[in-house]
Amino acid sequence: MTARPGSEARASLGWELRHGYGDAVHILDNLYLLTALARLSGPDVRHPELVGVLRQIYQVLMVAVAGREFAGVRTESPTRMAERHPVEGVYRGNVLDPRTRVVIVDVIRAGIVPAQVCFEMLGSVLASENVRLDHLTMARLSDENGQVVGVDLQGSKIGGSVEGATLLLPDPMGATGSTTLRAVGHYLEHHGRPARIVAMPMIATPEYLRALRAGIEDVVVYTARLDRGLSAPEVLECIPGERWGEERGLNEAGYIVPGAGGLGEVLNNSWC
């Protein structure tokens, strides 16, 4: 495939990049998303533009996930032209199955805006009673030496079972995968088994993809960008996932490189 003008030559499958992470991983090949992420991650962006760009990124991601992962049904829906053309003025074709049940997980803090975007979008096209927004407050538990020994979910607001529903996790930064693993584990232990689990980080690292593949059965990942900037130059020349064991996207502090630099703190103007 010929590279688009002004873009780097890269292996593409049209709507997603070719990679070696398995069929359950989808890295979207979308120049709008990449441009928006470059803007959002830059040092000069400020509120309210920051939040606006983040909302746009998740609108595109949500369209991709719903269009490819959700069930569809045939419908006959009269249009405004049906008054003049009673037969021809009726749309006959596919739509999302309005019976689809979705639970969206807001992982506070960075996940607040992405989760709200997904909730609003799905509530406008599915039966509203079938779309739920949960809130997870995940605080680290440390021992007397300051070592992290667990996660406290007290204060979380979960609206009931997820049995048979699609569980969406639009947490924007797919770094180590520990937050996603803990969130999914909590649901599986206390709230049933969803029909499918879809993780939606706007940026993901190879380490994140490896952690989810090892820790969550049948999880599907949609991401707007893969960050592996700490990999050796010869590894970066390979198709993503070809030398997965040598790829690195996390620095010693667990931050993504190039990444977006502490998005939760930036979004909330809170640095503690």
pLDDT score recorded for residue 43 = 86
Note whether 212 and 184 are within 8 A (CB).
no
In this structure, is residue 14 part of a structural domain?
no
What are the beta bridge partners of residue 90? 78
In this structure, is residue 129 part of a structural domain?
yes
pLDDT category, 263, cuts 50, 70, 90? confident
Structure tokens at 78: 């009269």
pLDDT score recorded for residue 271 = 58
121 burial level (CB within 10 Å; 0-12, 13-18, 19+): middle
pLDDT category, 5, cuts 50, 70, 90? very low
Q: To which H or E segment does residue 212 belong?
A: helix 206-215
Domain that holds residue 133: 25-72+94-268
Domain count, the chain: 1
Structure tokens at 16: 């997603």
What CATH number is given to the structural domain containing 261?
3.40.50.2020
The pTM (predicted TM-score) of the whole model is 0.90
In this structure, is residue 84 part of a structural domain?
no
Other beta carbons within 10 angstroms of residue 70's beta carbon come to 17
Task: Give every CB contact of residue 111 below 8 A, 6+ residues apart in sequence.
Answer: 105, 136, 169, 170, 171, 172
Burial 76-114 (b: 16+ CB within 10 A, else e): eeeeeeeeeeeeeeeeeeeebeeebbbbbbbbbebbbbb
In this structure, is residue 20 part of a structural domain?
no
In this structure, is residue 249 part of a structural domain?
yes
Please tell me whether residue 35 adopts helix, strand or coil conformation.
helix
Distance CA 77, CA 74 (A): 10
In this structure, is residue 245 part of a structural domain?
yes
pLDDT score recorded for residue 264 = 78
In this structure, is residue 9 part of a structural domain?
no
Q: Which of 141, 137, 214, 147 is nearest to 176 (CA)?
A: 214
In this structure, is residue 86 part of a structural domain?
no
Question: What are 212-251's pLDDT values in tens digits?
Answer: 999 999 999 999 999 999 999 999 999 999 999 999 999 9
Question: What are 127-166's pLDDT values in tens digits?
Answer: 999 999 999 998 666 567 755 455 678 779 999 999 999 9
